[in-house]
Structure 1
C-alpha cells in the first residue's frame, strides 16, 4: 500500500515539475500584475506620493465626462470593427477555400502580412495615403472628377478611415482560422445536400455556417477584445483628436499612467475595462457556443 502511494506521489510530482515553469510564469507575469492592479486602483496620487483613496478613483471616473466620451468612442470602434472583420474575413475565406492549396497559402500569407508588420510602418503609409493635401486617396478622387479635398482624419470621416486601417491589420488571423475550419468540413455533407437538391445559399446557411460556429465564436470574442484595446494606430494617426473624437479608454489609461503618473486612476479604468470585456465575452459564449464536432 505504501509502495503504491509513493509511486502515485512520484507520478504527480513529475507532472507538477513539468507544469511548474508555466505556473511560475503565470503567477509572476499574469496573476500578480492583476492582483496588484486591483490593489493600486484604490490608491490616489498627489504628484509626490501615493495614498489610500478607497473608492475615490472610481467615483471620479464615473463623474468624468471625458471618461464617458472615451468609453463611447471605444464602443463605436467595437461596433465598426467586430461585424466588419467577421463578415469580410468569412467572405474572403469562402473565396480562398475554393482555390488550390498553393493559392490558399498565397492569399493567407498576403492577408496575414499586415498583422506582423510594424505598426509604425503601416501608420506612415496610411498617413501619406490619407493626407488631405497630397494623399493618394484624394488624388484618385480628383482623377474620378471629384472637386475639393476630403479631410479623411477630420470629424466626419475619422471613424471610417481608422476602421479601414484597423480592418486591414486585423483581418489576417480570422481568415487563417476560417479557412482551416472550412477545409475541415467533410465534403460528404455537401455531396449529400447536392443530391437532395440544395442550392449554394442553402448549403451555406444549413451546413457551413452551423459547423463554423466554434470558429465564429473564437473570431468574434478575440476581435471584440482587440477592438476594446485599440490604441497604437489612433495614437500615431490622430492622438485622440479631433476634439477627443477618437480618444479611447486605452488612451486615457496611457495618459493617466505614463503622462500623469497616476497609476491608481489608470488601474481603476483598467479594471472597469476588464469587467466590461468579461461581461461581453460571457454573453458571446452564451450566444455562440456549440457542441458541434466534425
Structure 2
C-alpha cells in the first residue's frame, strides 16, 4: 500500500514537472516569436552587411574582377596618413558634438520642464524640426548664413563692429560645422531628457524641499542620478551619429580646406564611388565599426554605474 502510494505521488510529481516545463517552453517560444521580426530585420540589415563588408575588405577590385588580397587593404590603411587624418578629424567632431549635445539638451529639457504641458510640446517640436528636415535644405540655409560677403553671421559681426570671418575656412571649420550638426541632433536628446524628467516622481523633490535642499542640490542629488540611463543613451547614440557625419560636410566643404574636415565616411565615399576601390572602402568601414564599438564599450564602462535597463 505504501509502495503504491509512493509510486502514485512520484507519477503526479513527474506529471506536474512536465506541465511546468511545457509552460516554460511555450512562454519562451512566445517570447521568441515576438522578437523574431526585429531579429530577422537586425540580421538582414546589420549582421549580414557587416559580414559581407568584412568579406569584401579581403578582396581587391581592379575594374574587371575581384582578387583575393588578404589583409593587404588593412595594411595599406595603417600606413595611410590621410586615413589617420580622417580618423583624427572624426574624433574632433565627436569631441565637439557629444558633450555639447548632452549638456545643452539636458539644460534645455530642464528649462522646458518648468513650463505647462502645451508649451513643453511646442518647444520640443521646435527643437526637433531640424532633425527631420532635409539635409540639403539645411546645408543651403547654413551656407547662406556663413557666406563671407552677404551672410547673416558676418552681417551681425559687421553691426557689432567686428571684422568678417571665413566660417568654413581652416580656422573655424570644425566649430562652424559642429554647430550645424549640434542643431540637427539636439532635438532628439531634448525629447529623451524631457520624457525622463516627466518620469521622476515629484515626491522625491517634495521630500528634498522639506529637508531644506535647494533647487541646485536637488538637481545634482535627484535629477542627475535618475537621468543616468537617459544620459548614457544620449551619449552613446550621439557618439555613433557623430562618427557618421557625412552629408553636411560633403555639401558645405567637400572635406576641405586641405582635408581639414575630411571624415572617415568621406574617405569611404571617395574610395567606393569615385576611385571604385571597394575593397579598401570596405576595410575603412570595418575599421570605423570597430572604433565605434570600442568607444561605445568604454562609455558603457564609465557611465553604467547604478544604471538599470
TM-score of the aligned structures, taking structure 2 as reference length = 0.89
Alpha carbons of structure 1 residues 19 and 197: separation in structure 2 relative to 1, 3 Å: closer
**How far is the alpha carbon of 1:46 from its aligned partner?**
2.3
TM alignment of 1:128-139, pairs within 5 A: 128-139=144-155
From 253, 259, 273, give the equivalent of 1:238: 253
Alpha carbons of structure 1 residues 13 and 268: separation in structure 2 relative to 1, 3 Å: same
CA distance in 2 between partners of 1:167 and 1:177 (Å): 15
- Give the secondary-structure state (helix, strand or coil) at the position aligned to 2:115: coil
**How far is the alpha carbon of 1:245 from its aligned partner?**
0.1
**How far is the alpha carbon of 1:30 from its aligned partner?**
2.2
Deviations 1:53-97 (A, max 9, x none): 011000000100100000000000000001111000011011000
Alpha carbons of structure 1 residues 39 and 105: separation in structure 2 relative to 1, 3 Å: same
CA distance in 2 between partners of 1:206 and 1:16 (Å): 40
Which structure has the greater CA radius of gyration?
2
How many residues are treated as equivalent by the alignment? 292
CA distance in 2 between partners of 1:40 and 1:267 (Å): 6
**How far is the alpha carbon of 1:7 from its aligned partner?**
8.7
- Does structure 1 conserve the Cα–Cα contact (< 8 Å) formed by 2:229 and 2:308? no
From 50, 64, 68, give the equivalent of 2:84: 68
Alpha carbons of structure 1 residues 196 and 9: separation in structure 2 relative to 1, 3 Å: closer
Alpha carbons of structure 1 residues 289 and 19: separation in structure 2 relative to 1, 3 Å: closer
- Are residues 1:257 and 2:272 paired? yes
1:101 match: 117
- Are residues 1:120 and 2:136 paired? yes
**How far is the alpha carbon of 1:29 from its aligned partner?**
2.4
**How far is the alpha carbon of 1:24 from its aligned partner?**
3.5
CA distance in 2 between partners of 1:17 and 1:187 (Å): 38
Alpha carbons of structure 1 residues 92 and 53: separation in structure 2 relative to 1, 3 Å: same
- Does structure 2 conserve the Cα–Cα contact (< 8 Å) formed by 1:221 and 1:281? yes
- Does structure 1 conserve the Cα–Cα contact (< 8 Å) formed by 2:148 and 2:165? yes
- Are residues 1:215 and 2:230 paired? yes
CA distance in 1 between partners of 2:33 and 2:45 (Å): 19
Structure 2, unaligned stretches of length 5 or more? Answer: 1-14
